[in-house]
Amino acid sequence: MAFPKSWFAVKERLSKWQASRRKTTSRRRNFLTIDEFRDECAKLGETDPGKQKSLSAILHRLGIALNFSDDRRLNDRHVLNPHWLTTGIYTLLNSKTLAARKGELRPKDLVKELDEHHYPADMHPFLIHLMEKFELCFGFNDAPGAGKNRKKSKAVGTESLLDRYLIPELLDPEQPPAARDFDEQTCLNFQYDYPALPPGLLPRFIVRTHVLSETHRWKTGVILSFEGNTALVKADPQEQIIRVLINGSAAGRPRMLAVIREDFDVIHRDIPHMKPQELISFPDHPSITVPYQEVEVLYDTSPETPVVRVIDGKVVPHTAGELLLGVEFGMTAETGRRRAVRPGVRKSNLQSR
């Protein structure tokens, strides 16, 4: 596909605005509305709306004019200055006021925390929705049930803000007493072992699973509830691990683990070269772990394939089927069969919450 001259003209115009952003105080150097972008395209010879959209996607990939066209809360703005975005977001993430409030953010806080000239009030929803998109925060209304349907704001293509937002990165680092209710000896145990635990990974998981948690959230952990089961998910930055302990019915534990693993799978896919080792514990010996993938390979050979460990000077044997029984969703002691597909558990069960 040939690159039309009019597209080059638009690209050069926006590139010049981008390059000159530090020399001007004009709001226009930081961002354009979608209507302003279309007007510039038309002035420079591209009047077709469909082609304007294609050009917008190319400029986004080039980093010249960022546009999040896949999100209706954000698609009415083109950002010319990526530094404007990062500065605004990191100002909020480093706010002493929000840290003292343990991450609770109210829309009016942006007026106090951000420079009004560079971050006018009509751009505050854009910043907060961008933080939601990148799973840095989640919102909730003060009124019960009010958060289910957001009202449209007067600005075209944007939504009104909710009453409050929570930034998990700013939560209290102290673990709540409720975390002590999870006994390793009686819980389902699962573990992620990282070469280096990425900063912000657990806070992002808290955002993704916030409909399953209510009050027990802290910077490095969260307690979730799902179908009568509860789970403690916490990070240990020194050990470079994330541990998952699940209480509740034997039948419900693997199902809840499937929900948790699905969210971690999504997060891991977004981080280049992030392939943590998944570990499962020997029954009644939670400190003795076995690589999950290794047990899967042994199981595929035969469910009766032995997996042996020496514990306290004694040989403790289990079969691959026994080790997977408490972990695999859909597996039963009677048949030993496994359900290969985990995706879909979360969607089908959370939409009704």
Mean local confidence (pLDDT), 68-95: 88
With a cut of 60, say whether residue 343 has pLDDT above it. Answer: no
Q: How far apart are CA 215 and CA 102, in angstroms?
A: 12
Give CA separation, 138 vs 33, 129, 163, 165, in Å. Answer: 25, 9, 11, 5
Higher pLDDT, 272 or 189: 189
* Mean pLDDT, rounded, of the chain: 84
Q: What is the pLDDT of residue 66?
A: 87
Rounded percentage of the chain residues whose pLDDT exceeds 90: 50
DSSP-derived pairing of the beta strands 31-33 and 77-79: antiparallel
Q: Say which DSSP state 148 is in.
A: G
Give the pLDDT confidence of 247-261 residue by residue, as tens digits.
999 889 999 999 999
- Phi, psi for 3 (deg, rounded to 5): -95, 110
Alpha-helical runs (H) found in 77-200? 82-93, 96-100, 109-113, 124-133
Higher pLDDT, 40 or 95: 95
Give the pLDDT confidence of 187-240 residue by residue, as tens digits.
999 999 999 999 899 999 999 999 999 889 999 999 999 999 999 999 999 999
Mean local confidence (pLDDT), 287-296: 92
With a cut of 90, say whether residue 350 has pLDDT above it. Answer: no
With a cut of 70, say whether residue 349 has pLDDT above it. Answer: no
Q: What is the pLDDT of residue 69?
A: 81
Q: How far apart are CA 316 and CA 313, in angstroms?
A: 9
Q: How far apart are CA 140 and CA 165, in angstroms?
A: 6
Give the pLDDT confidence of 102-123 residue by residue, as tens digits.
999 999 999 999 999 889 999 9
Q: What is the pLDDT of residue 155?
A: 38
Give the pLDDT confidence of 17-69 residue by residue, as tens digits.
776 655 444 444 688 888 888 998 999 888 999 998 899 889 888 888 888 88
With a cut of 90, say whether residue 7 has pLDDT above it. Answer: no
Q: What is the pLDDT of residue 1?
A: 54
Burial of 157 (0-12, 13-18, 19+ CB in 10 A): middle
Residue 326: pLDDT band with limits 50, 70, 90:
confident
Q: How far apart are CA 51 and CA 1, in angstroms?
A: 12
Residue ranges of domains in the chain, CATH in brackets: 5-80 (1.10.10.10), 83-170 (1.10.10), 177-350 (3.30.310.200)
Residue 159: pLDDT band with limits 50, 70, 90:
low
Q: What is the pLDDT of residue 330?
A: 58
Mean local confidence (pLDDT), 303-313: 89
Q: What is the pLDDT of residue 258?
A: 94
Which pairs count as long-range contacts for 226-230, CB under 8 Å and 24+ apart, including other chains?
226/252, 226/255, 226/256, 226/259, 226/349, 227/252, 227/255, 227/256, 227/349, 228/252, 229/253, 229/255, 229/256, 230/182
